[in-house]
Structures are given as structure tokens and as C-alpha cells.
A and B are shown apart, each in its own frame.
Chain A
Amino acid sequence: MNAGGEAKGEAGHGLHFMTVTAAAHAIAHKELSPVDLMKAHLARIEKLQPTLNAFIRLDAEGALKAAHAAEVEATAGRLRGPLHGIPVGIKDIIDVAGLPTTCHSKVLQDNVATADAVVVSKLRAAGAIVVGKLSTHEFAIGGPSFDLPWPPARNPWNPDHHPGGSSSGSGSGVAAGLFPMALGTDTGGSVRNPASSCGIVGMKASYGVVSRRGVFPLSFTLDHVGPMTRTVEDNALMLETIVGHDPLDPGSVAAPNGHYRAALDRGAKGLRIGFVRHFHEVDMPADPEMTAGLEHVMRTLQMLGADVRDVRLPSLVEFSAVNRVILQSEAWSIHREWLQKRPGDYGKLARRRLMPGAFLGAGDYVIANKRRAEMIAAVNAALAEVDVLLCASSMDPPCRIDRPAEVERTYPRQARTAFNVTGHPALAMMAGLSSSGVPLSVQFVGRFFDEASVYRVARAWEKASGMDKKHPAIG
């Protein structure tokens, strides 16, 4: 294990590894041209896309044109918002007007979006520039598949390895410096999985604080849209930009406090942290390097002055089962007609993962949702005693992408679905590097609408460990 150790994989810090916060500051102070920033990223994309397959659709021409417009505005002192001139990648289940939303599937290969999703509109209003649409597991559920119209994304820390999913291109591209921020979606952990596998920061905020309108659904009551960045501060800034009540999204809520950077640098001193050990020690015993990484994070936070104690939640195996029954039932309602008429237009993995809903009964779905209510109460009770939870994200380091049996074995070995079931805010980030040089990970979870405390503890760990300074050596 190489947690927090030497800077293995650190590369030169060109414009492509500049943070969102630093780039936005430099553009606002006329120290950086949005055109130069975009050109640096497009050059990086041209170099690495053939290896990483992060994009399904690159819109270089549109991005460059928008960067020129951003430069004119910045020169005139007219900034659209806090992300003026910053490139952003969009997972290809999220609508961008004029570009196809394929969901990485033959089923929707020619589905051109007529309007921006709400989250994309908010990013554009803040000045961000869409670079293109990013690879995903098919319909955000399939897995790394080789029987689809586009190849799967790969992990920049080692392109033979899986970048996690389903927001695969988002994780791969942010980690590799193809763009400094991306949108992903998370129904069973699909923002936090690639964040874990690619060594970046991925946040799933409280259910309902980010609009899902214009995002192709997988499971209505589990779906979240979330920011993916290389630093905690960038992530909080991006989340501040995309939150907001949407009266046309039935699950939308008004976040009581959208100032996620307010407590960012208050440190860990005095924070009460509940360590959910049984997730990775009993329920799904983790790889020893992952366990060591989690212990290292816990001890570091203790040394910084946090009060860490063990807490118990329902079994991870049951959380996972509840997630699956709900997800597969809701997903079946979405895909039923296509699966009946065009089963061959799906890849094998998506077909297998979307059809179980046909064999679940209405009673199964209601029982899962009854148990869900108890699980929400259990997590709320734990969070009444502590400020945040610390637990595993993945139980294993990312495996090779070309070994289907290993992908199938490791994919469900994770502790992320629990917080899709309950809707609590949860963030995954790098905990170190494995002996083979791929990222290890940790997850922090907070009370409903208390994303600020999640960011606070994540920032304390990042600052102490220097995880934000580690980048893959690729390119």
C-alpha cells in the first residue's frame, strides 16, 4: 500500500491539471485565456482519447467557439459566473441540446437532445463550456462492454484496468486531465465508483437537491446527478452551481443551505466521525490494501483532532439487496417495451441487468421500500450521534477490464448503494495507491442536506494526505 506516501504517478502540472478554482480565478483576473485553457485540454484529448475512450462524442469545434466567446466576455470584464471558461464533460445519459444522448447504447444511437438538461443549463449559466459527451456503462447499468457501438472507457492509472462505472468516461477523463470537471450520475454508486477507481472526488448529494430533469432515468427513486473533480474544493464549487429546486422534477427539494464551501477549511478537529467497520471487515471483507488504506485515513483524521468511534448500520448485503430490488423494478418499467421488442439492441451485460425486474413482484418492490424506510431511520440514528460517517467505497482496487469474471466479482463488492437507498449525501475519493499503482478509496457520508460537513472532512483528509496532488503518469 502506498497511501499518502511518495508521489507515485505525479506528472508535470500543465494547464490540463490546473484545478477548476485556480483556472476560474486566473480567467477572472485576466491571467489566463479561456482559449488557451480549452486548447490545452483539446490537445490532451487528442493525445489520450485513443487510449482511454473517455468520449462518445467530442464537440471540439463548439467548445473552441464557446471559449473564444468566453474570452471576449472576460476581456470586457463580463463574467457569466464562477465557472467562466471552464471545460466540462457530460455523461452521455444527460441531455446537451443538439448532441445525441445515446446512453452508450444502440437503442438510442440516433437520439438527439433538443434541450439542455437542467444541470447543463446551470453549468452553462455559470460560464462552463461543454466539451462533449462521455462514455458510460450502457444505460448507466451495463458494465464495461465490448459489444456496443463504442468501446468502454479505460483507467488512466493503468489502461488495462477498469475505470469504474457507470460514469466511466467522467472518471477517466477528469483523472487524466482531459477536462477538470464532469457530470456523472449515481443510482447504485456510479459517480463514486469511478471516483474511487480513478482517484478523484465524486459526490452524490442528498436525494433531490440536484435536478434530474433531462437525464435519462435508470431508477427514479435512486437516481442522483453528481459532480466529479480532482479536488474537494472544486467539487463543492461545482455542486453549488448545479443545486436548486426544480418544480418540474417530482423528486426535487429545496436545499436549505447551498453554501458547500463554507466549512471547507475548518479542519477535522472536533468532528465526531462514525467508522462503519463492519461494512468492509464483516459484511464484504475487503482487500487487505483497501483495509489498510481506510485505517490510514481514520488514523490521520484522529491525529487531526477528530473523535472517531465505531458505529453499526444494517448489513451491507441487505442494503445491496434493497437497492437491487428497487432499481431493477423501476428500471424494468422504463425498459420493458424495448426489451420485449429489441432485446438484441442491448449489450449482454445491460440485458442481463435490466431483465430481472420482469421476475420481481409488486410485493417484492413494496417490501424493499418498507425496509428502505427502516434503513433511512437507522442511518439517521447513527448520524444523530456523530457528524459524519467514514466507510469503504470499493472493497477492491480496480481490476483488469478484460477479465469479465473479475469485473463481475468485484463490481458488487462496494458500500455505495447503501446511500442511494437512504438518500444521504456521500462522497468518495482517493485514500492512496495500491502496490500495483492503482487508486484505493474512502467514502464520507453526512446528514441530509449537510454536504458542507462531508466536504469539510474530505478536505481535511485531502490536505493532510496531498491526494489532490497525485495524478496518473499517462501522457
Chain B
Amino acid sequence: MIVVKDVCKRYGDFTALEDISLEFSNGLYGLLAPNGAGKTTLIKMLATLISPSSGEIQYNGENIVAMDQRYRELLGFLPQQFGFYKNYSPAQYLFYLAALKGISKQQAQVKIDELLAKVALSDVKHKKMKKFSGGMIQRVGIAQALLNDPKILILDEPTAGLDPKERARFRHLLTDLARDRLVIISTHIVSDIESIANEIIMIKNKRLLYKDSVEQICETLRDAVYETTVDFSQLDEFRKRFVLLSEKQEYGKMIVRFIHKGEKEEGWIPVQPQLEDVFLYEYQDEMVEEL
């Protein structure tokens, strides 16, 4: 079990994370927040690449930094920007990383073949990676994270560059993997984790906002999400009054999905809140800033 205890991360005057406390046991966790919220900082701390300014992270009661390679040998990590050796083939690169992970030559050969088949790259295992598409590179990244059959699998934006078919295939893979290990996926794409995560972690204003199941998080917007039809002429006014979650054009009118915490008005249809609704609601300010 991983325990994040009162962790803060500061860079000079800038605070990236404040007072984060979390617990992870086996299962799949989705770390959901917009870009720049501090997801990658937390992920890098879990991968021992950066150290907390205060607080600590423990694995089974022991500080992960002190555990050193005993911790990292349990870890599989795919960073957001997965760097690779352009002039190496996937087989060569995975063979190098297998050495860094302490896997013997013989075991590595078998494991590499198995993983490249799993990510559908067997046909190009000896081709130089400089010719690979973004999706193929990402699949090499996923394969390397699984090389040491990790007990803790941390994936930072793992679906970047994958096409819809590959995403679906990847979700199945993760569901299988999460059965007997701890998987943490950091993403800002709700659909990547909504259907597969046991728990969702949301960070807002550098602090932990939620750590709960999808259902429980959606409960926070119970009786507050509606859909209604609005004339185009009234749309601007409507936008000013409510937090709009989505807009869809149909038969010359707009069907809007929005949040209202108060009395229901006529013509509004209450709908079941989704994780995306919570995401859009909670991070509306950050999104306006991003725009």
C-alpha cells in the first residue's frame, strides 16, 4: 500500500502541491485534473524522480526514497513525455531498459516478445523507432512500463497519441492489470478512466479535492444537472446565468446541459450527473483561464 502523507512541493516561491494526503491499495486510480494542476508533480514524486518539500511517501510503511531500488523494482512508469532512442528498435530499447530494471537477458528476450505482441508491435520489433508514429511510440512506452511485471504501475497521460481503437484496447489491458496490482493513471481525459477506475482523485488549487468512486463524486452534483432546449437568441443570456456543461444543436435549437443548484424551472429535465460534469464544474475557472 502507498501512503502519501501531508506532501507539499515548492519551487522557490511557487507551490505546486499543498498538503496532499492519499492512500492507494490494489486497484485502478484515476488522477484527474486539468493540465498544470500538479498531476505530473505528484506522479514524479511517486516515481522518486522528485522529492517532496515536506511530508513523505511510504510503501508498506517505509519511505520510498529510503527503499531506493527495492521500491523502484516494484514500479512501472510511463511518463507524459516518453523519450526513446530514435536509432534503436523497440526490441533494442526494451532490452536496454530490461537491464536497468535488473531483468536477466534470457528473461528479457521472452518478456520483450510477449509485451510487443501485447501492444501489437511484433511486426516492427526490429525497425528503428524514428519511423514510428506517436501511437506506436506510446505503445512502446506502455510495453516498457510492464517489462518488470510491476506491482505499482504509474501512467502519466498514457492515451496521448492513441487512436480510439488503441484506447479501447488499452483500457482492456489496464482492467486486466489492475486486478492484482496498483495502477495509477494520470489524465485530463475523463473517458479514459470513467469506466475503469475504482477511484478518482481530483486536485484543485494545489490541494486534494476528491478521492472517491465515480459514483460518489457524481453524487456531489445530484439534482443539479439538467438538460433543456434554448433558443439561439436566449443562449448568451443562458450562458451568463448557468454553468453550461455541453451544447448540442438539434432542429434549429440548442439542447444544453447545465448545472443549477437551486429550484428547478419549467422545461428543465433532471439528468444523472456524469464524471465529466463534475470535472467541468470544478475546473470551470481553470478552463476559462486556459481559453
A binds B: no
